[in-house]
Structure 1
């Protein structure tokens, strides 16, 4: 068995471990702040105005904007759904269940 297959971190005293943990926490906090800043920038991206689509409804033509009543935003998500499958993508189903709370 080679060294890389059984590679373990070195064994150190508690003070050394605490020092390295503190340094790691500084890096983790910086990464968290950067990811938060990226997420905030994504939320501030401009919206795109949809074309005035006209769809065929049960009672004839209906504008896309009229289908959703007072709701001014449309969320589009490519959901991995497999017809007649016992299992559905847990990421997709978990993600899309959050949208019911927006109403």
Structure 2
């Protein structure tokens, strides 16, 4: 950092203005990509999925509440784990405050994990999370949406993940899925995995604006620094 290029204000402003043009180009490209995402075809949800929630058994339709769109965060928490994934927890720390805003745009949001509901409730209490978090338990939901993988598949050297661009080597991985309800029918509109979930991490986007960025290039792997929020030393 001490060897960074130092200039006067006029030179700084000139460089910043040139970069602004690139930022605007990226913004327009992102807007176009979002438009194309909305135009992707939908697939009808044919199965009847049931989840364990604080209100008892709930169907996928129940998770919409009074809204017609649903965002699902696939939270990595296998039934035999003592606590949910620290990286998913990093993402979940961003959820509480945004959900009332999503509701104003006809969107509900829920996290879904395979761990028992009691474990989910305990972690939510400890972390101060109030967002809806339900258990898919031993149902097919996580497997059908490519975020959980059977021991048999893993034993064969891995299972396809992220549309076959990666191989899963553990039982649970993260993802985000979107659904829409039209009358009494539900459609799956979109799912993203791997780096695709990056868009939902506010903290990372703030780090991208900081002088050192995410500063992960010398770590064993990206996010090696991440801990559960309550485990950081102050």
Instruction: Find the partner of 1:34 among 29, 38, 63.
Output: 29
Structure 2: how far apart are the matches of 1:28 and 1:15? 20
Instruction: Find the partner of 2:4 among 5, 8, 21.
Output: 8
**2:113 matches 1:80:** no
Q: How large is the RMSD of aligned CA atoms in angstroms?
A: 4.0
Displacement after TM superposition at 1:95 (Å): 4.0
**Number of aligned positions between the proteins:** 93
Larger % of helix: which?
1
The normalised TM-score by structure 1 is 0.54
The normalised TM-score by structure 2 is 0.29
Report which structure shows greater RCO (CA 8 Å, sep ≥6). Answer: 2
Q: Which residue of 2 aligns with 1:59?
A: none
Displacement after TM superposition at 1:36 (Å): 1.9
SS at match of 2:12: helix
Structure 1: how far apart are the matches of 2:10 and 2:28? 27
Q: Which residue of 1 aligns with 2:92?
A: 92
Gaps of 5+ in 2: 51-58, 109-234
Instruction: Find the partner of 2:48 among 49, 53, 59.
Output: 53
CA-to-partner distance for each residue in 1:10-44, whole Å, 9 max, x for gaps?
Answer: x3332222211110111111111111221222222
Gaps of 5+ in 1: 56-63
Larger % of strand: which?
2
